[in-house]
Amino acid sequence: MASKLRTCFMCWNLSGFNCVNHHNGRNRVVRVSFPASCEMRHRATFSSQHKRQQIKPSAEGGLRQNQDEEDDAAEVSLNNDDSVENLNDATAPLAININGAEQAEQLSGRQLEDLLGMIKNAEKNILLLNEARVRSLEDLEKILAEKEALQGEINVLETRLAETDAQIKVANQEKIHVELLEGQLEKLRNELAQKESTEGKYSELHDLQNGGLSDANPLSHNDSIHSLTEELNSLRAENASLKNTIESFKTQLSDTKNNDERLVALEKERSSLESALKDLESKLSISQDDVSKISTLTVEYKDLWDKVENLQSLLDKATKQADQAVIVLQQNQDLRRKVDKLEESLEEANIYKLSSDKLQKYSELMQQKLKLLEDRLQKTDEEINSYVQLYQQSVKEFQDTLDTLKEESKKGNLEEPVEDMPWEFWSQLLLLIDGWKLEKKISVDDASLLREKVWKRDRRIIDTYIACKKQSEQEAISAFLGLLSSATSPGLHVIHIAAEMAPVAKVGGLGDVVSGLGKALQKKGHLVEIVLPKYDCMQYDRVCDLRALDVLIDSYFDRQLYKNKIWVGTVEGLPVYFIEPHHPDKFFWRGEFYGERDDFRRFSFFSRAALEFLLRAGKKPDIIHCHDWQTAFIAPLYWEIFAPKKGLNSARICFTCHNFEYQGTAAASELESCGLESHRLNRKDRMQDNSSHDRVNSVKGGIVFSNIVTTVSPTYAQEVRTEEGGRGLHSTLSVHSKKLIGIINGIDTDAWNPATDAFLPVQYNATDLQGKAENKQALGRNLGLSSTDVRRPLVGCITRLVPQKGVHLIRHAIYLTLELGGQFVLLGSSPVPHIQKEFEGIANHFQNHDHIRLILKYDESLSHAIYAASDMFIIPSIFEPCGLTQMISMRYGAIPIVRKTGGLNDSVFDVDDDTIPSQFRNGFTFVNADEQGLNGALVRAFNLFNNNPEGWKQLVQKDMNIDFSWETSSAQYEELYLKSVARAKAAKGA
């Protein structure tokens, strides 16, 4: 009866060993990870048992097995009790009992199949090793690429003698590292030699298999069986020792259990080093050549250094001699002065001696003259007293006449509006009246009539305010109510509801638009008010007379009412209301304006609270103007809730989107928080986002529900109707195209005026450009730039470093400016970490450069100085809805270099474009957002600056005289407002 054959063949790969146990014909695979030393021992064992397996290269340059591979058995992790059982099975000794023909048949059949399975597993592992080698070659290519980049840097550094020592140290360290790697290479070669011997055994065993089975001679067959028996007996002895070895492995495994991942990494690193070191051998000679070259440079450097030291010693000697000569010269000059003084004293003494008699006579004459002068002085005093009396009488008569004229003027002009009072005064009066109304100290109608008097700038309300300054609040209210009479409003009542306002809460151009447009409309005679969130990070010092009203306004949110505190103050003459929510999430006490995870909730809450405030204050505005996605909620809230259900229905809604890249999307259910019904609004024709049907889009809601839709330039209004420019809203804008218009922004010409700018060292204007040159020199001193060549052009750039602004072109402009012989100053930072890091690297590279400086932050005063100092301004935006930078730069005489997009296309016209009338050509433009386009525009600008100074001066003066104020833009908004209000009144009349 044939005895059961129990064997264990252990094969290895990069991640451990696969032990195959055969029990009554059933295979089970156990994967065990061992330390590298143990793995090498198993590989040595296999090399003494098996012959080499034939392998041939594949078409891709790798290795391919000759025989088809069989399916692997299922892998079982080694853990707990089952792992111990499997390990014991794997380490069981080979027990083969050979009894006659049955035993021989078993050896020639099953045992050979096991040997073939073992060989195939070894082939798989060899294939894995080859794949690892291929990956190592890929890593080597990356290393070579990095080496080439480093070599380029070394070539640059070799041109500077001051860094030669550093290069030598690096080369020496590299040489030492190569020597260490050579030692490791020798060890790896020994390991490869062992692997080759193992493969030889695999080949011999394969030959034995093929040859033994094909031999038809029984005797040779028996001999083969006998030799196999002897070999198996030796294997049994080796397995016995192997069992002991595995027992020691088990103890080591418990100690190194936590280091398996490290061992796998080390094995992979070994295989990569095996390939990398071969390449390093070939490059060692190159490195040695480099070292020899550097050694030559070292000798030259030492010679130059010796010469420099000799020159320095000579210079020191010459300096000492010069110092001594200067001391001697100073001593000679001091002696000369003393001699001169002595000579002068001698001459004076002689003169005094000769004229002493004359002086005595002169003294007597002077005494006589003094007496005459005293007599004249007495008479003069009497005359002056008479003149003073006459003057006092004249002043009294003039004062009486002036009082009479004032009374007559007061009577004659009582009904005329007062023009000489500042807007802050009228805004404070409006806020005072609104406070009385909200605190229920006056009625809604009385508050409306008093606001109209303020609106008309009635002289009587000024007199009443001044007279009541020292009276109690109740007496003041009574005096104001005594002024009431019927009156008609002289203009429109416009309320801006926004998330920003310059300068108290500014992030971008939105803040400038709210304050600039508001002031321009106010100057046209319209009543303008602003509603903002009360952020904790506002610039409170820019708010005049900030105070809290003694009233709390309820606002609906998340199915309950929350209190809101109302603060009032004036900002640059405009009345502003600040809403402070008493919500547990502290919506506007985050230290940031935007960028919070719950921005959709924050600003939907604010929009609802702002409308609640207007309702509670009894305001009846003609226009409610909301801005960007943060307050686009105003439009659907107004027409869905406040107009039909609460009676706030006097206004037309104007919505301005300053940048369609930011649209404010959220899950449709989020609308429910502020009281809007998601099932009514999450529709394609309302607020449903065009790219996601389960989300809503606040900008889309602003477009659909507003009466007027504007964006910030005519070109941008056309661009947003395209798929790319509209960011998914182009179809919605096409449907509502009749109410969409583009109005280019203006700038605050009071704040941005080089003739009065307090931030500048020297003020200047278009007729006197000397101040601009002085500002350029002052900025150079402040930033540490070279000022040896005053004609070297300075290129400025002030921007947020985001992809929209063309950061790759800004980076290119820095290096191109340097090549063209100019200077470059950048002011700005990036919210994108990798962009900020990249420009920090550029800033560090040029931190001590004579002509390049990067300041990666925002500084208000420095921005004014850069505008004033720059000769050119680079604005290579990928897209730009409007842009204020190009207008400000022209205001300060810096010629803009821009890409033709959005508002840049509407405000900058190329000096070389013959299709544009010459009086409108004011800068340099390019079309394609690539380096070639920028090169053409910047090179043309440098050529004009360097080759035609007079033409450049005329261009500067032309740009400084262009009117970029809000006058024209506000007139367009005024026309839109009036037409919309007129249509509303006509509709009501019909």
Identity (one letter) of the amino acid at 652? R
Which of 30, 36, 44, 39 has its CA nearest to residue 12? 39
Q: What is the pLDDT of residue 145?
A: 79
CA 399 from chain centre, in angstroms, equals 65
Element (H or E) spanning 805, and its range?
none
Q: Quick one: average pLDDT of 389-401?
A: 64
pLDDT tens-digit series, residues 531-589: 999 999 999 999 999 999 999 999 999 999 999 999 999 999 999 999 999 999 999 99
Confidence grade of residue 400 (pLDDT, cut at 50, 70, 90): low
Backbone φ, ψ for residue 264 (5° rounding): -65, -40
pLDDT of 73 > 70? The answer is no
CA-to-CA distance for 337 and 244, rounded, in angstroms? 109
Of residues 28 and 546, which shows the higher confidence score? Answer: 546
Backbone φ, ψ for residue 755 (5° rounding): -80, -20
Confidence grade of residue 275 (pLDDT, cut at 50, 70, 90): low
Specify the range with the lowest mean pLDDT, choosing from 471-475, 522-526, 752-756, 977-981. Answer: 471-475
CA-to-CA distance for 706 and 704, rounded, in angstroms? 6
Identity (one letter) of the amino acid at 204? E
Of residues 3 and 863, which shows the higher confidence score? Answer: 863
pLDDT of 826 > 80? The answer is yes
Reduced to 3 states, what is the DSSP secondary structure of residue 156?
Answer: helix
CA 750 from chain centre, in angstroms, equals 29
Whole-angstrom CA distances from 374 to 360, 384, 385, 827 are: 22, 15, 17, 71
Q: What is the pLDDT of residue 224?
A: 55
Tokens coding 735 = 């449907």
CA-to-CA distance for 182 and 187, rounded, in angstroms? 9
For the chain, the residue count is 990
Q: Quick one: average pLDDT of 609-629?
A: 96
Element (H or E) spanning 894, and its range?
none
**Which residues are 8's β-sheet partners?**
21
Cβ 699 vs Cβ 689: under 8 Å: no
Of residues 548 and 22, which shows the higher confidence score? Answer: 548
pLDDT tens-digit series, residues 925-956: 999 999 999 999 999 999 999 999 999 999 99
> Which range has the top average pLDDT, 141-150, 163-172, 197-206, 903-912?
903-912
> Which range has the top average pLDDT, 182-186, 720-724, 872-876, 978-982?
872-876
Which of 646, 688, 650 has its CA nearest to residue 666? 688
CA-to-CA distance for 850 and 846, rounded, in angstroms? 8
pLDDT tens-digit series, residues 877-898: 999 999 999 999 999 999 999 9
Confidence grade of residue 24 (pLDDT, cut at 50, 70, 90): very low
Tokens coding 156 = 């640059």
What does the buried/exposed string (b/e) look like for 801-831 if buried means 16 or more CB atoms within 10 Å of the residue's CB?
Answer: bbeebbbbbbbbbbebbbebebbbbbbbbbe
Q: What is the pLDDT of residue 915?
A: 92
Q: What is the pLDDT of residue 960?
A: 96
All residues at 6 or more sequence positions from 104 whose CB lies less than 8 Å from its CB, including other chains: 98, 222, 225
Measure the CA dihedral 549/552/555/558, to 10°: 130
Q: What is the pLDDT of residue 28?
A: 41
Q: What is the pLDDT of residue 81?
A: 40
Q: What is the pLDDT of residue 163?
A: 58
Element (H or E) spanning 396, and its range?
helix 260-412
Whole-angstrom CA distances from 452 to 430, 633, 929 are: 9, 29, 52
Which of 958, 919, 963, 807 has its CA nearest to residue 874? 807
Backbone φ, ψ for residue 961 (5° rounding): -95, 0
Which of 527, 367, 546 has its CA nearest to residue 457? 527
Specify the range with the lowest mean pLDDT, choosing from 120-124, 433-437, 577-581. Answer: 120-124
What strands lie across the sheet with 26-32, from one edge to the other?
A: 8-13, 16-23, 26-32, 75-76
Confidence grade of residue 739 (pLDDT, cut at 50, 70, 90): very high
> Which range has the top average pLDDT, 7-11, 766-770, 888-892?
888-892
CA-to-CA distance for 697 and 692, rounded, in angstroms? 9
Dihedral (CA of 299, 301, 307, 309) sign: negative
Q: Which residue bears the tokens 């992790």?
A: 77
Confidence grade of residue 640 (pLDDT, cut at 50, 70, 90): very high
Q: What is the pLDDT of residue 63?
A: 33
Q: What is the pLDDT of residue 454?
A: 82
Q: What is the pLDDT of residue 280?
A: 62
Q: What is the pLDDT of residue 154?
A: 67
What does the buried/exposed string (b/e) look like for 909-933 if buried means 16 or more CB atoms within 10 Å of the residue's CB?
Answer: bbbeeeeeeeeebbbbbbeebebeb
Helix and strand totals (H; E) in the chain: 29, 23
Q: Which residue bears the tokens 């794997």?
A: 90
Q: Quick one: average pLDDT of 129-153?
A: 78
Reduced to 3 states, what is the DSSP secondary structure of residue 128?
Answer: helix
- Ranges of H-type helices in 413-472: 423-438, 444-455, 459-467
What does the buried/exposed string (b/e) look like for 768-792 if buried means 16 or more CB atoms within 10 Å of the residue's CB?
Answer: ebebbebbbebbbeebebeeeeeeb
pLDDT tens-digit series, residues 302-357: 666 666 666 666 666 666 766 666 676 666 666 667 666 666 666 665 665 555 56
DSSP codes, 619-637: ---SEEEEEHHHHTTHHHH
Q: Quick one: average pLDDT of 124-146?
A: 81
pLDDT tens-digit series, residues 89-118: 433 333 334 344 445 445 456 777 777 888
Residues 429, 489, 486: CA angle, nearest 5 degrees = 90
Confidence grade of residue 54 (pLDDT, cut at 50, 70, 90): very low
Confidence grade of residue 798 (pLDDT, cut at 50, 70, 90): very high
Of residues 160 and 519, which shows the higher confidence score? Answer: 519
Q: What is the pLDDT of residue 140?
A: 80
CA-to-CA distance for 48 and 44, rounded, in angstroms? 7
SS (H, E, C) 280-311: HHHHHHHHHHHHHHHHHHHHHHHHHHHHHHHH
Q: What is the pLDDT of residue 336?
A: 65
Burial-class residue 413 by CB neighbours within 10 Å (0-12, 13-18, 19+).
Answer: exposed
CA-to-CA distance for 859 and 798, rounded, in angstroms? 10
pLDDT of 66 > 60? The answer is no
Tokens coding 835 = 């962009």
Cβ 765 vs Cβ 756: under 8 Å: no
Of residues 717 and 200, which shows the higher confidence score? Answer: 717
Q: What is the pLDDT of residue 671?
A: 95
**Which residues are 623's β-sheet partners?**
494, 652
Tell me the average pLDDT of the chain.
78
Q: What is the pLDDT of residue 421?
A: 74
Q: Quick one: average pLDDT of 680-688?
A: 95
Q: What is the pLDDT of residue 214?
A: 43
Backbone φ, ψ for residue 729 (5° rounding): -105, 10
Of residues 316 and 639, which shows the higher confidence score? Answer: 639
Q: What is the pLDDT of residue 404?
A: 62
pLDDT tens-digit series, residues 219-270: 444 565 666 667 667 766 766 666 666 666 566 555 555 555 665 666 666 6
SS (H, E, C) 188-241: HHHHHHHHHHHHHHHHHHHHHHHHHHHCCCHHHHHHHHHHHHHHHHHHHHHHHH
Q: Quick one: average pLDDT of 74-86?
A: 38
- Ranges of H-type helices in 846-965: 860-869, 885-891, 902-907, 931-947, 949-960
Q: Quick one: average pLDDT of 851-868?
A: 94
Element (H or E) spanning 406, and its range?
helix 260-412
Tokens coding 17 = 């060993």
Rg (CA), the chain: 46
Reduced to 3 states, what is the DSSP secondary structure of residue 688?
Answer: strand
Q: Which residue bears the tokens 């449709």?
A: 668
Q: Quick one: average pLDDT of 764-781?
A: 94
pLDDT of 382 > 60? The answer is yes
CA-to-CA distance for 67 and 160, rounded, in angstroms? 61
DSSP codes, 520-556: HHHHTT-EEEEEEE--TTS-GGGSEEEEEEEEEEEEE
Q: Quick one: average pLDDT of 512-519?
A: 94
Tokens coding 101 = 């023909």
CA-to-CA distance for 431 and 454, rounded, in angstroms? 11
Q: What is the pLDDT of residue 72?
A: 38
CA 553 from chain centre, in angstroms, equals 38
Element (H or E) spanning 571, and its range?
strand 560-571
Burial-class residue 761 by CB neighbours within 10 Å (0-12, 13-18, 19+).
Answer: middle
Please state whether the peptide bond connecting residue 503 to the residue before it is cis, i.e. omega within 30 degrees of 0: yes
Q: What is the pLDDT of residue 49?
A: 42
- The DSSP secondary-structure symbol of 691 reads T
CA 977 from chain centre, in angstroms, equals 37
Q: What is the pLDDT of residue 458?
A: 75
CA-to-CA distance for 157 and 905, rounded, in angstroms? 43
Element (H or E) spanning 674, and its range?
none
